[in-house]
Structure 1
Amino acid sequence: MSVEGKTAIVTGSNSGIGLGIARSFAEAGMKVVLNSYTDDAADHDLAADLSKEFGTEVRYIGADLSKGAEARRLVTEAGACDVLVNNAGIQHVAAIEDFPEAKWDAIIAINMSSAFHTTAVAVPMMRKAGWGRVINLASAHGLTASPYKSAYVAAKHGVVGLTKVVALETAEDPITANAICPGYVMTPLVEKQIPDTMQKYDLDRETAIRDVLLARQPSKEFATTGQLGGTALFLCSDHAAQITGTTISVDGGWTAL
């Protein structure tokens, strides 16, 4: 089945992984709704540029996904949702005894609770349309853990659990729900970390990447946003119609250790 003309909502999609997935969807002919909390001219220009590049409808809808009502409004305002990609997320690193309560609350709200709110609105739309895909961006940290990332790891484990529940509740519908679990992905945010890592450890770029940033990624290569987009697009295909309630790791072997 062609996904051309299907409507996809991708949260947190004005950069990084979300934008990579949105680009893959637009290239496949989907109608795409971009989202972030910023809602500035650059966001709307990005949607217009993608629409022109791929010859399909691309819109931008701003929403602060730390608020449940805003997450639900995003899907309602889109008017249709055949494919929902819950990608929005933030991070903070600190020992648990020093972890700021406000940061915990924000990470749980944006990384996990927003997926509950958007899915609760999108699933009835998918049932009415007779087809749907829920794709949650979890993480290798949804399957394993690292120190100093209590909120992020808790949220991503929660996203994996939520994915399984949605899959069971839609198992008899032509709807699937799956989680993609990336390891380290080359995004603008990660690119900005490289010079700081080089300086902190007094290393050249290649060594800083291989021995510090990718220390837990056996392939010693970053995944790309395009690869994540291709994985998401595969989950929208008929080939993946019986793949539901599971995780797909794109982590260079991280979770095989």
Structure 2
Amino acid sequence: MRLQGRTAIVTGAASGIGRRIAERFASEGAKVAIADLNRDAAEAAAVAIRKSGATARAVAMDVADEAAVQAGVNVVLADWGRIDVLVSNAGIQIVHPVEEFSFAEWRRVVGIHLDGAFLLTRACLPSMYANGYGRIIYMGSVHSKTASVLKAPYVAAKHGLMGLARVVAKEGAKKGVTANVVCPGFVLTPLVEKQIPEQAKELHLSEDQVVKTIMLKDTVDGEFTTVDDIAEVALFFAGYPNAALTGQSLIASHGWHME
């Protein structure tokens, strides 16, 4: 049980990648807080984990709202006394050419991905520092390393997570806190499923062409990355015993992007 006795917050954990990470952490002994904007869906995910015999609770949280983030973290601290692992996973996607993005859309995407990561980190670090232990995992993307058309704020935010992780890795080193970035390729979650018709419309392609000639064109096997793939990477970082890998990122994209 790699996370026995640990407590974790996973954001955007009512569905998709976040839910699978929460389930995987719970199966390895962690108490898991399912933080999500959708309180009912978060509770359903927590109930399912509890039925497996593990410990989980739902926390309503808008990660782009400073007060909501602090309140959610305070709830976990009040219940469990400490936070050992943070997975900042919540995200959205809006696709347009740069010149067609409204500032409100830009701010919404960056606010959830990057501002949310900062707010969560700031809220969780005092507990981690007090206990001399912490594992912070940011959900980046292949777009933390490269760029695609129509995704300017998403790409900018995902690149920003790399810088945030490196600063947190340096600042947290003497207090037992590490920071890492998981960089998935295309995972067939509702977030990606939504993009397929949107990109088909913008690029004047069929949905099948978007999948085959854009999303999966550069993979080695023509396969989507899975939520299980990403959960295993997150677990790897969450359970790593020392600071040897702090500040590093790991790409899981079926070869789409390599370095």
Report the residue type matching 1:17 in the other structure: I
Q: For residues 88 and 52 of structure 1, what CA distance do their matches in structure 2 show?
A: 24
Q: Is the 8 A contact 1:234 1:240 kept in 2?
A: no
Tell me the residue number matched to 1:24.
24
Is residue 184–residue 217 contact of structure 1 (8 Å, CA) maintained in 2?
Answer: no
- What CA distance in whole angstroms lies between the structure 2 residues aligned with 1:198 and 1:126? 44
Gaps of 5+ in 1: none
Q: Which residue matches 1:74?
A: 72
Residue 100 of structure 1: how far off its partner (Å): 1.3
Letter in 1 for 2:48: D
How far apart are residue 202 of structure 1 and its match? 5.1
Q: What pairs up with 1:154-173 in 2 under 5 angstroms? A: 154-173=156-175
Distance 1:152 1:198 in 2: 18
Q: Distance in 2 between the 1:198 and 1:104 partners?
A: 21
Measured on the aligned residues, the alpha-carbon RMSD in Å equals 2.3
Please give the alpha-carbon distance, in whole angstroms, between the structure 2 residues aligned to 1:111 and 1:157. 10
Name the structure 2 match of 1:236.
238
Do structure 1's residue 211 and structure 2's residue 209 form an aligned pair?
A: no
Question: d(CA) in 2 for partners of 1:123 and 1:154?
Answer: 24
User: 2:128, 2:177 within 8 Å by CA — same for their partners in 1?
Assistant: yes
Q: What is the SS of the residue equivalent to 1:126? A: helix
Question: Does the residue aligned with 1:221 lie in a helix, a strand or coil?
Answer: coil
Alpha-carbon shift at residue 221 of structure 1 (Å) = 1.3
Partner residue, 1:65: 63
Please give the alpha-carbon distance, in whole angstroms, between the structure 2 residues aligned to 1:191 and 1:61. 26
Does the alignment pair 1:117 with 2:115?
no
Task: Kindly state the Cα deviation for residue 209 of structure 1 after the two structures are TM-superposed.
Answer: 3.5
- List runs of 5+ in structure 2 lacking aligned partners: none
Query: 2:133 — aligned with what?
Result: 131
Residue 92, structure 1, aligned to residue 91, structure 2: no
Other structure's SS at 1:104 match: helix
1:35-71 Cα distance to aligned partner (Å, 9 max, x none): 111222x431221111111x12100001112212212
Match of 2:103 among 101, 104, 118: 101
> Given residue 50 of structure 1, which amino acid in structure 2 is its aligned partner?
I
- Kept in 1, the 8 Å contact 2:251–2:258? The answer is no
Maintained 8 Å contact 1:185/1:223: yes
**Pairing 1:12–2:12 present:** yes
Structure 1 position 180, deviation (Å): 0.5
Which residue pairs with 2:42 in the alignment? Answer: 43
Change (3 A) 1:129 1:180: same
Contact 2:166 2:247 in 1 (8 A): yes
Identity of aligned pairs, percent? 40
Paired letter, 1:49: A
Q: How much does 1:239 deviate? A: 4.9
One-letter amino acid matched to 2:45: L
Aligned residue identity for 2:62 = D
| 1:35 alignment partner, SS class | strand
In the TM superposition, residue 160 of structure 1 has moved relative to its aligned partner by 0.9
Q: Matched residue pairs, number?
A: 253
Letter in 1 for 2:140: A
Letter in 2 for 1:112: L
Q: Secondary structure at the match of 1:180?
A: strand
TM-score by length of 1: 0.90
Residue 251 (str. 1) matches residue 253 (str. 2): yes
The one-letter amino acid paired with 1:230 is E
* 1:12-54 alpha-carbon deviations (Å, 9 max, x no partner): 11111111111110111110000111222x431221111111x
CA distance in 2, matches of 1:46, 1:226: 16
